[in-house]
Structure 1
């Protein structure tokens, strides 16, 4: 399994995910959420930030099904989905992940034809990685 590359700005995202929490960075001055994490607010240029919890719910904004997989490490699980999820409580934030049957399930645990733009999803976590499950399986 490939692990995420972390940097100073993004490290808290992964620390919260390891605890099963989906949080996004926000400006502590103008309160705008931002992703990916970065040191300066693109809206007001403040360097003050905080990590806000989200409810972990969203909708599939876009998705692809790689054929063949782009990375050899994933060939055994192809075809699988890669989704972009727009968060309900931070609609400017869109996160990339996979829709799976349950936390920790294989990437191919949901048939590609079940994924739809606008499908409602909920965040789940496995080994510190956020994944998504369909709210209406």
Structure 2
């Protein structure tokens, strides 16, 4: 979904198999944001999908990650891997590091990126880590 007309937006490799998925909440915004302002999540989606997605990663818009009080939020997930939710992100500043983190995540067999190899924004802004099913 792109948050405007309900359609699913996916970029990167085909959405199948064990691709990593970078889900971008397009409805969240900071509590202090004026009601008429463009949602930061929509800007984040634009920033992340403006070029090619990292190998093995698809990018999709989602309506809500239930991280509303944490501003702009994204999630990284893949079959059989840990899932991570990150918040308090800035579209203009953090998009390149989020894409780098998504590439590192896609290259792991279990979703566990070694701490020192994670981009700083992912080390500092984790909201949740969910075990694989």
Q: What's the TM-score once normalised by structure 1's chain length?
A: 0.26
Bigger Rg, structure 1 or 2: 1
| Greater percentage in helix | 2
- Structure-2-length-normalised TM-score: 0.26
Higher relative contact order (CA 8 A, sep 6+): 2
